[in-house]
Homo-oligomer: A and B are copies of this chain.
Amino acid sequence: MDNIQIIALKESVLEDNDQDAKALREELRSRGTCLLNLMSAPGSGKTSTLLALNRAFAGRLRWAVMEADIDSAVDAKTMQEAGVPTVQLHTGGMCHLDADMTRQGIRALPIRDAELIVLENIGNLVCPAEFDTGAAINMTILSVPEGDDKPTKYPLMYEKCSVLVVNKIDTLPVFDFDKSRMEQAARMRNPDMEIFYISAKTGEGVQELADALVAKVKEWNAG
């Protein structure tokens, strides 16, 4: 499929994922790489947000993307066509990635010196939240059509995330979505959560998110 490199992930044999994740995080930091774990429900717009960020990064970051999916290479193809170094990871039915699977992906990336690596996790609000991938930043996307009650229904995901991106804000007039209700529920899970409102489609809010991420990555990599 158009030169997309597809890696079939092997299930981890390690007992202690937390330990392994911590080791991966430190290893990455020592070589100046920030790993961002991007999570959301299916269809929240992970890939289109990454495409919009790529335009807004405007060459300020050397970055790469790992697209994790049960099957298909649709998203990796999209990212690669946009000029972002990409690898497609297939979990073979597994619902999440752990640190060892993440490491398998990083080794398969076509570049070695990325300042930012984004892991686009499986579209799932439950299982990915349970496994530390070694990421320095956990970021969740909530799209407006999903409703403002998601932080109440998927508490662990919101507890684990430090950055929340509310996507598809161009559709706010079409849906009943109460921003303050959502924010209140999200901050109950994580009082320090940073929240960005964007439309990956129209570009609204994307520059602010991109600038904040660039700053976070540079700060992390400076150690």
Contact = CB atoms under 8 A, between A and B. Distances in A.
Interface of A: 41-43, 69-72, 74, 93, 95, 122-127, 130, 143, 145-147, 149-150, 152-156, 168, 171, 174
Nearest to A43: B146
- For the residues of A in contact with B, the DSSP-based class is loop
A206 to B, nearest CB: 18
B95 A154 contact: no
Central interface residue in A43, A95, A143, A168, by most chain B CB within 10 Å:
A43
Contact of A145 (B69, B126, B171): B171
Given A70-B126, A74-B152, A147 B93 contact: no
A149 B48 CA distance: 13
Nearest to A168: B145
Contacts of A147: 43
Nearest to A126: B95
A70 B153 contact: yes
Contacts of A43: 41, 143, 145-147, 150
A152 to B, nearest CB: 5
B122 A126 contact: yes
